Structure 1
Amino acid sequence: MQAEDYFLLPETFMLHKGETINVHQFAGQGFEKDNEYPYQPSRTGELMLYEGKQKIDLTANVKDSTASAFGHQLKNSGLAMIAMTRKPIDTEIDKTALIAELDSVGGAKIYDKVNKAGQSKFRIRFTCYMKTLFTIDKTEGNLFNKELGHTLEIILQQNPYQLNYGDDMNATVKFKGKGLAGAEIDVIIKTAAGTTYPQKLTTDDTGNVYFKLSREGIYLLRLISIQQSVNKDIDFDKWGATCTFAFKNTGTLPSTYKEFGLGNKH
């Protein structure tokens, strides 16, 4: 069993000034096409667009809980980013399922504690942070490594839109502002041909992971961290963090996420 989380996927990662970006939200372990979620105002804590030097709160403009995507007209050129936080949600999970999840996310520090516990069910509070990085006409800008102060955060250290095939990239995983060592992070590539290439990496002592831009397509970086809670009303805190971007070496990528075999709303 693998832990599920949420990620953002624009209909295209390469837009032009004046166009509207439409972003979809997915849940799952990767690029499963049937796991699209509608925008949920009641579940959304923060929804921000970082465009040029502007920080725009999109929650005031997106109210429709039946919409499959949320959009915004773009007014600047260069790198841009949308970040979304899902509000914490409390759930109950049985012991077998929790052990399986800890095994899948590298939760060795609390694995033995759960395994030896006398209780059969545990209370978990789950919070998820999502980022997606895209371009508007140009690829310049420093938003790729902007730190948002999320409890769990994936921070790219290079601009993928200015790199070439085979170039090295690294990302830093931070937990409460500090590099998270020994965390397992998935790097999943979805090509236009519909093939998915997953890779599981482990952060080093400084919280960094290293990978290559080995294929054109959509890249999803994801991880889950589970820690014993300091709150008396729950047993464990669980955080998810995801980051998506696209990479092309030559030519252009397909214009919509549907051409990558994703989406069930259209």
Structure 2
Amino acid sequence: MPFVTNQKQLQLFFKTMKQAVKSNVFRYLSLALGLLLVAITAVFSHEFWLLPEQFFLSVDQNVKVSVEVGEDFTGERWGGGTRRVTALKLHTQTTIKDLTSTVQQDDSGVIAPVLKLEETGTQLLTLATNNSFIELEPEKFLAYLTEDGLGNAIAYRQKHNETTKKGRELYRRCAKTVLQVGASYNDLPTKNTGMTLEIIPAKNPYQLVKNQPLTCQFLYEQKPLKNYLVRCWRRINGKTEVEFKKTNVQGNATFELVNKGEGNYMVSTVQMVRLANDPKADWQSTWGSLTFGRQ
């Protein structure tokens, strides 16, 4: 599957349509569609990830980690209001440090603590959030479900005559980032950390050899996510590429984008289930991400 960016796809779409239809009516229509898609992108800035200042560090080095939210692997500081971190843990070969109480969070935002990495080897930082609520108009909710490949929710709404009903959703996040401290490697990134949505690489990303793809398993509540849309992102020099895949019956997907080498990478997906007897929301979504770098 080719690697694409949303902007390039959009430009190609309009170029093709303009060649096929040349009229003043289409000019107004294309403008309206463009504005609509921009508005949808602004509403659904929902990718969520951990971004350290550096992925490759020395022992006893301090590192800042930013909690990011945005689109196309381009983010801004996350948090504020009722959005809160419920768990922040640093996993090393010898211990798991619970850092949740060190997170600064208030109505203005969330700031993760500066980490001092005292052990050598590959390490893993994990973060989970509480639920937030969102309500979307039917058209915007359908656009969101379509964009993220959530066909199960689309089919349910069609079957139960809910296509004209607003989308009432609770959403939460699970994020990981892989840090390499010194030149000693281990299999820590391949371990299940027990989060609600797990993205588990089959191999330490920092031990991939040239032209070796990366396989990841996707689990929701410790069960494989089958036939789900998943993504791998690469960002370098201000540009983003993304690779789309569908998981198999074991919840696995293999990404070739990592073969491009240097850059920041993110593997991500979202899972959505119908809620029963919840007075506030009809749907629960859980967003997952795994970030790492390549030199």
Whether 2:132 is the aligned partner of 1:132: answer no
- Cα distance in 1 between the residues matched to 2:222 and 2:293: 26
- Cα distance in 2 between the residues matched to 1:118 and 1:195: 36
Structure-1-length-normalised TM-score: 0.85
Q: Residue type of the partner of 1:200? A: F
Deviation at residue 146 of structure 1 after TM alignment: 1.5
CA deviations over 1:13-60 (Å, ceiling 9, x no partner):
011111112100110233225x22368896110011112311111122
Determine which structure has the larger helix proportion and give its number: 2
- Cα distance in 1 between the residues matched to 2:214 and 2:172: 27
Greater RCO between the two (CA within 8 Å, min separation 6)? 1
Runs of 4+ in 1 over 4 A off after TM superposition: 38-42, 64-69
2:88 alignment counterpart: 47
2:98 alignment counterpart: 57
Unpaired runs of 5+ residues, structure 2, are: 1-39
- Cα distance in 1 between the residues matched to 2:51 and 2:172: 19
2:48 alignment counterpart: 6
Structure of greater Rg: 2
2:128 alignment counterpart: 85
Whether 2:72 is the aligned partner of 1:72: answer no
Whether 2:276 is the aligned partner of 1:230: answer yes
* 1:186–1:221 CA contact under 8 A, matched in 2: yes
Describe the SS at the equivalent of 1:99. Answer: helix
> What percentage of residue pairs aligned between the two structures are identical?
22
Describe the SS at the equivalent of 1:214. Answer: helix
- Cα distance in 2 between the residues matched to 1:137 and 1:44: 29
* 1:139–1:162 CA contact under 8 A, matched in 2: no
Describe the SS at the equivalent of 1:60. Answer: helix
1:240 alignment counterpart: 287
Structure-2-length-normalised TM-score: 0.77
Q: Residue type of the partner of 2:251? A: G
1:256 alignment counterpart: none
Deviation at residue 194 of structure 1 after TM alignment: 2.5
Describe the SS at the equivalent of 2:87. Answer: strand
* 1:5–1:128 CA contact under 8 A, matched in 2: no
- Cα distance in 2 between the residues matched to 1:9 and 1:22: 9
Deviation at residue 238 of structure 1 after TM alignment: 0.6
Unpaired runs of 5+ residues, structure 1, are: 249-266
Cα separation, partners in 2 of 1:81 and 1:40, compared to 1, 3 Å: farther
Q: Residue type of the partner of 1:171? A: C
2:66 alignment counterpart: 24
1:252 alignment counterpart: none
Cα separation, partners in 2 of 1:85 and 1:40, compared to 1, 3 Å: farther
Describe the SS at the equivalent of 1:232. Answer: coil
Aligned ranges for residues 1-266 of structure 1 at < 5 Å? Answer: 1=40, 3=44, 4-33=46-75, 35-37=76-78, 43-63=84-104, 65=106, 69-115=112-158, 116-117=161-162, 119-191=164-236, 193-212=237-256, 213-215=258-260, 216-233=262-279, 234-248=281-295
Name the Cα RMSD after superposition.
2.1
Report how many aligned residue pairs link the two structures. 246
